[in-house]
Amino acid sequence: MTALRIAVRGTVRAFTPRDRALLFDRSTSSDHAVRDTTARLLARVRQDGDAALRAMAQEFDGVALDAIEVPRRSWERALDALDPALRRALERAARNIRTVHEAFKPSAQSVTTADGVVIGRRPDPLARVGVYAPGGRATYPSSLLMGAVPARVAGVGEVIVCSPPGADGRPSDVLLAAAALAEVDRVFALGGAGAIAALAYGTDTVPAVERIVGPGNAWVAEAKLQVSSVVAIDSPAGPSELLVLADADAPVEVIARELLAQAEHDPAAAVVLVSDAADLLAAVEPVLARMITDAARASVIRDALAARGALVLADSLDEAVAFANSWAPEHLALMVAPAREAAVLAALRNAGTVFIGPSASVAFGDYMSGANHVLPTGGLARSYSGLSTLDFVRWTTWQRIGPDAAATLAEDVGVFADAEGLPGHAAAARQWRRA
């Protein structure tokens, strides 16, 4: 059995500067090569449009595109030809995603601040959004559903999908089938930073959108960050992350499988086990090493563990929680004694999604539970939330101020405006004064 290489091992209080850098510097923008290459790719698309997109498909995907857009009849054929069991799974996932996001759909609100003064806020669906569905090492129809179905629930006018082309110049059949199920409007065979640039700036073929959502590799995440001054984004979601927070009684085999499952996404995936039980940490490693020998994506898993894997010992469960909040993972698997779950969950503030208990596999959230799996990475769970219907609306605020209410506000507003040196504002308010 090949020895298992794990990037960081040690106690929370004894991390070296190298350990801290590997654990916490997960943003793509800390990589100058990724940042600079992405900037050049965005500039190419902004300048040359479709010609740049075709050249990038040849350069990065090894394919000459007959057409950038995939015709609807191709999606419909892909759905008709889909394996029945897989179709049932996709349909079930789509139903659950729709149910969850319908339940959390934002609604209009209003409040009266004084007699005759009513302030309201109304969620208005965006006109057009772009959903990025990753490809390359693996195909992710689940990500397409996670982006497109909530957009439809929110009432978005036009939903556009971009996904990398395969050897035949199209995204995979299962992804096209998911596009048909999600009832998107258009699909483009575009991947990487080029796709993000096309959605942000628009080309002769690809229309510009109001928001870009969906996960991707380091270049996709960086591209979303760089275009965020032009178009709204969900969050710069990059390679997958998992932190397992476990106590001494957590099941070793289950922990190992969860770590393996998320590490198989990408060599840049980050997986961490933190526990206050040294014996548990010691027990997980050989089980993980054994499981990897039979894993179909063993080389990807090994690379991920060697680059971003960690086994971390905390002095107490409180210290483990503090570490988790600082690391701010995309996914957090909580495996502690049932009597402690509620208190620990309440203390966990920074995670894309928390999975409670050993049977709450992250895989269920990835595909079927209905909660969204498009989540912040790179520590951005400290300030970003997972994708939801909120990402597909903008809020219109309105104010109704009647004449009687205006009369009661006029002098106070005039005094305020005088203090700020804005006499026009003062006059506009005081015209409503009553003698």
Question: Is 331 in the active site?
Answer: yes
- Residue 404 carries which side chain, given as an amino acid letter? D
Q: Give yes or no for a contact between 244 and 258, defined as CB atoms under 8 angstroms apart.
A: yes
Angle in degrees, 0-180, between the axes of helices 218-227 and 32-48, rounded to the nearest 10 = 60
- Residue 278 carries which side chain, given as an amino acid letter? A
DSSP 398: E
Report the phi/psi class of residue 405: left, alpha or beta, with left for phi > 0 and alpha for psi in -120 to 50: alpha
Convert 275-294 to b/e letters by CB count within 10 Å (16 or more is b): bbbeebbebbbebbbebbee
Supply φ then ψ for residue 91, to 5 degrees. -65, -40
- Of the candidates 85, 126, 115, 107, which has an alpha carbon nearest to the alpha carbon of residue 232? 126
Catalytic residue selected from 330, 373, 420, 425: 330
Neighbours of 110 (CB within 10 A): 11
Non-local (6+) Cβ contacts of 330 within 8 A are 237, 240, 241, 242, 351, 352, 353, 375, 376, 377, 381
Tokens of 196: 């993000």
Catalytic residue selected from 101, 265, 331, 373: 331
246 bridge partner residues:
275, 335
The burial class, CB within 10 Å (0-12 / 13-18 / 19+), for 64 is exposed
Non-local (6+) Cβ contacts of 66 within 8 A are 169
Active site positions, annotated: 330-331
